[in-house]
Structure 1
Amino acid sequence: MQTVAALTMVRDDAFFLEAWLRHYGEMLGRENCYVVNHGRGTEVADLAQGCNIIGIPGDPHKSFDMKRWRMLNNFVMALRCYYNHVIVGDVDELVVVDPATGMDLRQWLETVPANRVLTPLGLEVIHRIDMEHETIAGPILGPRRHVRPAPHYSKPCIISTGTKIARGGHFTQYGKLHAPDELFLFHLKYCDLGNYAATMDRRNHVSAATGATIKEAAIGRHWFAEARGEDRAVFEAFEGLEMQEEFNLEPLRRKMRRTFRARGETGFFEFDRPEYHTQYLLPERFSGLL
């Protein structure tokens, strides 16, 4: 059995795909990376050369996210036949191990028993446009070092047992929480104002093509132009988040563990996902990691 595979689905998002490939492709080897090319885009195919590229039709569909996660669920379970761990998530979500361990993610997973689900702590990389003026032309962490807690992205995304993953990847039907202190998921949506605006333009176009309203579509509100707001104002608001003196995230993980419970009668499990109004400066050891 191979140690770990990484799986994502992407359409057009070259900026995030390049970061995904730098991270997982270099660490795991591209032969252990699986990219679902939604719409069979040539740019995605070119960037992901050497990976296992799975081309699928790109027709607009109101239930896009439901179909996507049904497919990803089945791919994860198939890959488990050949890998001890499968990392699955959106192309702008990257899992890392704290460099203080002295190991990268692959090395760290070699020490982790199989037959479980791992849930990294979600952190959103934010572009502080009032103080971070460097253009991203390679690694993201370094030019960007501010993060905010993102419980919505504390996703059970490293799978090594038979389970079902909910739409969006936010819940599984695995009844125990494994949230190691050294494991993080960095969400990159807000890491750069310019890229954010371009990405939102594309997603607004995709949602419009479905012909669905916000209530009808099984995708997030942020895909719709009418729910978007003004881009610069979104980033200016990051200045108002309360800066924490230390990079101490243990209270957030304690909250996850304390509130872990069944999600009603769905068969899935969840924990509280409060909205934090805080931010942290990443320690220098994370620079260059993504």
Structure 2
Amino acid sequence: MQTAAALTMVRDDAFFLKAWLRHYGGLLGRQNCYIVNHGRGEIVSDLAQGCNVIGIPGDPHKNFDMKRWRMLNNVVMGLRCYYDHVIVGDVDELVVLDPVAGIDLPEFLKAIPPNRVLTPLGLEVIHRVELEPDRIEGRILGPRRHVRPAPHYSKPCVISAGTKIARGGHFTQYERLHTPDHLYLLHLKFCDLAAYSEAMDRRNVISAATGAGIKEAAIGRHWFAESRGNDRAVFEAFSALKMQDGFEMGPLRRRMHRTWKKRGETGYWEFDCPDFDTQYLLPERFSGLV
């Protein structure tokens, strides 16, 4: 068995795909990276050379997210036949290990017992436009050092057990909660204002092509132009988040465990996902990691 594979689905998001490929291609080897190319875009095929690329039709559909996660669920379970762990998520989500652990992510995963689901702590990388005026051109961490807690992105995304993953990847039917110290999921959606605007332009076109409204489509409401708002105002608002001293994430993990419970009668498990009005400065040791 190989230690780990990484799996994502992408449609023309070159900025985030480049970051995904640098990260997982560098850590796991491109031969262990699996990319579902939604729409068979040439830019994805070109960037992902050396990876395992699965081309699928790109026809717009109001139940896009349901179909996407049905497919990803099945691919994860298939890959588990050949890998100890499968890391699955959106192309703008990266699982990272704090360098203070003293080992890299593959070494860390080799030591994890089998038949588990790991839930990294979610942190959203935010672009403080008034402090970091330059656009990202390569590595993200370093040029971007600010993060905010993102419980909604503390996703059970490192899979080595047979389980079902919910739409969006936010829940599984695995009944225990494993939140290893030093393990994080970085959500990159807001890491760069220009990249955000370009991605939202593409997503607005896709959602409009379905012909469905927000209430009729199984697509995140943020894909719809009427929910978008002013891009720069969204980023300028990050300055109002309360800066915290240090980088102590233990209390956030403990809160996840305190609120761990069944998600109604769905078979899934969850923890509370409050909105925090705080931000942190990533320690310098994270610079260049992504």
State the TM-score, normalized to the length of structure 1. 0.99
Report runs of 4+ in structure 1 exceeding 3 Å deviation: none
Q: Which residue of 2 aligns with 1:272?
A: 272
What does residue range 122-137 of structure 1 map to in structure 2 within 5 Å?
122-137=122-137
What does residue range 7-156 of structure 1 map to in structure 2 within 5 Å?
7-156=7-156
How many residue pairs get aligned? The number is 290
Alignment check: 8 A CA contact 2:117 2:156 kept: yes
**Whole-angstrom distance in 2 between the partners of 1:46 and 1:85:** 27
**Whole-angstrom distance in 2 between the partners of 1:159 and 1:105:** 14
CA RMSD of aligned residues (A): 0.5
1:84-131 deviation line (CA, Å, top 9, x unaligned) = 000000000000011001111111101111100000000000000010
CA offset at residue 249 of structure 1? 1.1
**Whole-angstrom distance in 1 between the partners of 2:164 and 2:248:** 32
In structure 1, the gaps of 5 or more residues are none
In structure 2, the gaps of 5 or more residues are none
CA offset at residue 135 of structure 1? 2.5
Which shifted more, 132-141 or 15-24?
132-141
Q: Which residue of 1 aligns with 2:167?
A: 167
Q: Which residue of 1 aligns with 2:228?
A: 228
Q: Which residue of 1 aligns with 2:216?
A: 216
1:224-278 deviation line (CA, Å, top 9, x unaligned) = 0000000000000000000001111111111100000100000000000000000
**What one-letter code is carried by the residue in structure 2 that aligns with 1:116?**
R
**Whole-angstrom distance in 2 between the partners of 1:75 and 1:12:** 21
Q: Any idea what SS the aligned residue of 1:108 has? A: helix
**Whole-angstrom distance in 2 between the partners of 1:39 and 1:137:** 26
Q: Any idea what SS the aligned residue of 2:216 has? A: coil
**What one-letter code is carried by the residue in structure 2 that aligns with 1:90?**
D
**What one-letter code is carried by the residue in structure 2 that aligns with 1:276?**
F
**What one-letter code is carried by the residue in structure 1 that aligns with 2:169?**
G
1:185-204 deviation line (CA, Å, top 9, x unaligned) = 00000000001011000000
**What one-letter code is carried by the residue in structure 1 that aligns with 2:44?**
V
